[in-house]
Structure 1
């Protein structure tokens, strides 16, 4: 887990609110008007993405919506993130049933979209395209596309404009490092460049994506490029066939940048953006919210030990608050106190039988206990009980399906077909959590089921935030395509997936 510095306690005047809509849950110490407008703009952006990509995503289950925590400023964002650049305007962590984004307060209603909003829209674009199964391209394409969509504008008169200039990248485009198309298309050069001049690479990726999307003379070339890649054509050859002379393409990009870039209005296919339900948090929920944000963002063992003391103090002040007791259960799990976590979760459920997070934390704690139990079969059967209760409350929650699958693997048993099918369904419910595909692909490899393993690994290979697992997936996909067969090959590829440096 990433380190998280402490946030100050909620001031007495804090007025934390929850804005709940079809695809988002937002928690913010903000006025109702700004928060409602912020939520509505996010839903409008989601609808515009659906219209432009020709996608009609099913509404996510309540827990699979993106939870957005709005904090006071960028310093608080950096404290929650724990590490990274000195200036950070937001971060996003995709997890089944618990995806979060953290941003500083976004002031809506201005002439231009605030930069923290741009960061959030960029990350939500990845989240959306992953959910839609459309995030299948090289890094420059995924990042350039996210920049293209995230440069959205929300006019005061209403509606949404897309395809405008990425104002936050203009300085890097005009005065930053000179990045060529060849640099973008070469994966190694791209990754090296991102380490030294990320702004310039993001900026040039946006420009290339925008130009190939908009220029009449280049119409259809990007689709041809992606099609070639999907057939296994090498990246350099795919670029040569689709784009021709890359030096000429560079010259065209420079000319295109000098021209005015105007946005276009998008009319979502669905009328309206759906209702936004506003709720003011009570005194107990408001008091525990900064601690909840710290826990959800990730804590080290030392920070978990300190955090749990603070949550216990609040639980003593608010012993009848189910949300506070649920947060206590989560803090106890983080601190390694499983029996205390179970007790806190039980008290929360007794006060509020629909307290979703209490069931989740109780399940986590019991699974961790089951791994050390003498009678592991009985312990894992008992550990599934909170998750089964959770599935009755929320039928599309992915965690019961995930933990049912792992309850067999952790005992060294072959999961039955229905458990494997359940894991497949969990991936459909939470396709943005690539760890699920990774786990299932490893299982398929050990069964020498190479087509199903490849199906999931191909999605991981192009994840812009995949890091280690994306590189591992690319290596394994390459070996499957080279003709892997047999049980020994399956075991070797599973080992390679878990440690891509393990094999030559």
Structure 2
């Protein structure tokens, strides 16, 4: 199946203009829809939320089929996504650029995505599908991919179109096509740079569009798919320059490859259509969050992103005011305790947690937050760090006993052992490896795991992990630290080679 792209641009612009004026209706309280692989939160009616969870399950099935991941191979944890309206999103990220439609967060505290529902369902789907494609690839196929492959691959699958009787793969990326008919980013830059290395939003937009197009072009024919496989091996395993490797495996230089890509846009643009049977019985459990979630859920998630230093006093005061409306409500108490520990009065937060634990010694979230509070106190006071870290361990151990294999708890335990004279012991390294296996998307855990591997003289394994981090398309502190650690690993060999 195919269609020329140029005639499609005007229709896209009209559709965007019409949809921008609409906004989906929102229910008052927050609901949670939980399926086999997803947990979806939203202020939506039950049917809409349930249908969205089913659509995500369909999408997961497409990714599994395309990548050869069997249905029986479950991810170690469900992917959480929050569907918000504009006002809720602004509470979660008050200073977000206006054009931001959502974000993906992976930290030692949580892994989740947020999608803002301000236009069509397709806009929300494209964003959620894009981020889940990243998450899926990191979970099942971690590798040192070039940045353009990481983003182009996610863009390629973000346009999967799910219908009751069919699923289309490889449709147009509506948000990207316009820039393909304008000046292009030089292919050498697109192939060799990360998103964060580009100078402005215009270049970054072109990067996404051209990356999507090149993935689409390479997927269109079997011989090109074979070239892409050879390319990934050359770059990810052999360390070949991303641009030079592309010229070599395709037999085209920059000028001829750009010409081929432009011709592909102007010609028949093929996608795959799969027929499907009606839904099998997919269980989706929908439940209501406590009323306090309306006032505090976005604030809880905001803390996982981090609150700007200048806003912290106002933020804590606001959380206190919101929590005071729900006396005796566990969710409100946990939210205030978290805010006090992070940005307010630690003693007040710990007192709230101790009251919760007195009422229920098996409150896993209260146990985890108490452990985290002790760890943070130790980080803030180097002279008493070992004391605070030891104080954290009973809380962490009990939380892990109640809910085993929770990556946050495992990582907290490994941190609590970092003051041990023999750190990292074999047991601590195994704990870190398990935490990394459960949440390979979290850079901080990956870096600490790589560091522990190096300390235990498992440098080759550490190098593989660090290369993945160093190639992160959006850069950041994790990528910079990974590059620094790689340089340190390679330094002795270079010194030896240069000596004599």
How does the TM-score come out when normalised to structure 2?
0.84
CA contact 2:463–2:486 (8 Å) conserved in 1:
yes
CA contact 2:107–2:442 (8 Å) conserved in 1:
yes
1:46 Cα offset (Å): 1.6
CA contact 2:108–2:442 (8 Å) conserved in 1:
yes
CA pair 79-324 structure 1, distance change in 2 beyond 3 A: closer
Counterpart of 1:67 (choices 57, 75, 80) is 80
The worse-fitting range, judged by mean Cα deviation, of 222-231 and 384-393 is 384-393
CA separation in 2, counterparts of 1:189 and 1:347? Answer: 47
- Which position in structure 2 is the counterpart of 1:197? 203
Give 3-state SS (helix, strand or coil) of 1:403's partner: helix
CA separation in 1, counterparts of 2:299 and 2:487? Answer: 44
- Map Cα deviations across residues 189-247 of structure 1 (whole Å, 9 max, x no partner): 98326654221110110000011011345241100111111122233332222111222
Give 3-state SS (helix, strand or coil) of 1:464's partner: coil
- Which position in structure 2 is the counterpart of 1:210? 216
CA contact 1:78–1:88 (8 Å) conserved in 2:
no
CA contact 1:24–1:65 (8 Å) conserved in 2:
yes
- Which position in structure 2 is the counterpart of 1:398? 407
CA pair 343-363 structure 1, distance change in 2 beyond 3 A: same
Matched, 1:51 2:60: no
- Which position in structure 1 is the counterpart of 2:174? 167
CA pair 228-321 structure 1, distance change in 2 beyond 3 A: same
CA separation in 2, counterparts of 1:343 and 1:190? Answer: 43
Query: 1:163-312, aligned counterparts within 5 Å?
Result: 163-175=170-182, 177-187=183-193, 191-192=197-198, 195-229=201-235, 230-246=237-253, 247-266=255-274, 272=280, 274-312=282-320
Give 3-state SS (helix, strand or coil) of 1:101's partner: strand
CA separation in 2, counterparts of 1:79 and 1:137? Answer: 34
The worse-fitting range, judged by mean Cα deviation, of 470-479 and 289-298 is 470-479
**Total equivalences in the alignment:** 467
Query: 1:445-460, aligned counterparts within 5 Å?
Result: 445-446=454-455, 449-460=458-469
CA contact 1:320–1:351 (8 Å) conserved in 2:
no
1:366 Cα offset (Å): 1.5
Give 3-state SS (helix, strand or coil) of 2:162's partner: coil
Give 3-state SS (helix, strand or coil) of 2:127's partner: helix
CA separation in 2, counterparts of 1:472 and 1:195? Answer: 25
CA pair 472-415 structure 1, distance change in 2 beyond 3 A: closer
CA contact 1:183–1:189 (8 Å) conserved in 2:
no
CA separation in 2, counterparts of 1:142 and 1:169? Answer: 16
How does the TM-score come out when normalised to structure 1?
0.83
Counterpart of 1:98 (choices 99, 105, 110) is 110
Counterpart of 1:148 (choices 129, 140, 156) is 156
Counterpart of 2:418 (choices 390, 397, 409) is 409
Give unpaired runs (5+ residues) of structure 2. Answer: 1-25
CA separation in 1, counterparts of 2:178 and 2:394? Answer: 55
CA pair 221-483 structure 1, distance change in 2 beyond 3 A: farther
The worse-fitting range, judged by mean Cα deviation, of 272-281 and 372-381 is 372-381
- Which position in structure 2 is the counterpart of 1:137? 145
CA pair 307-261 structure 1, distance change in 2 beyond 3 A: same
1:253 Cα offset (Å): 0.9
Give 3-state SS (helix, strand or coil) of 1:164's partner: coil
- Which position in structure 2 is the counterpart of 1:8? none
CA separation in 1, counterparts of 2:212 and 2:204? Answer: 12
- Which position in structure 2 is the counterpart of 1:6? none
CA contact 1:304–1:334 (8 Å) conserved in 2:
no
CA separation in 2, counterparts of 1:354 and 1:338? Answer: 22
The worse-fitting range, judged by mean Cα deviation, of 416-425 and 181-190 is 181-190
Counterpart of 1:439 (choices 439, 448, 451) is 448
CA pair 400-133 structure 1, distance change in 2 beyond 3 A: same
Give 3-state SS (helix, strand or coil) of 1:27's partner: strand
CA contact 1:123–1:146 (8 Å) conserved in 2:
yes
CA pair 384-48 structure 1, distance change in 2 beyond 3 A: same
1:395 Cα offset (Å): 1.0
CA contact 2:424–2:452 (8 Å) conserved in 1:
no
Counterpart of 2:34 (choices 20, 29, 46) is 20
1:153 Cα offset (Å): 0.9
- Which position in structure 2 is the counterpart of 1:423? 432
Post-superposition, which runs of at least 4 consecutive aligned residues in structure 1 deviate over 6 A? Answer: none
- Map Cα deviations across residues 442-463 of structure 1 (whole Å, 9 max, x no partner): 3444555421320220221222
RMSD (Å) for aligned C-alpha atoms: 3.1
CA separation in 1, counterparts of 2:291 and 2:227? Answer: 57
- Map Cα deviations across residues 148-183 of structure 1 (whole Å, 9 max, x no partner): 00011122x2553221111111112123x3234333
CA contact 2:107–2:304 (8 Å) conserved in 1:
no
The worse-fitting range, judged by mean Cα deviation, of 302-311 and 199-208 is 302-311
CA contact 2:196–2:474 (8 Å) conserved in 1:
no
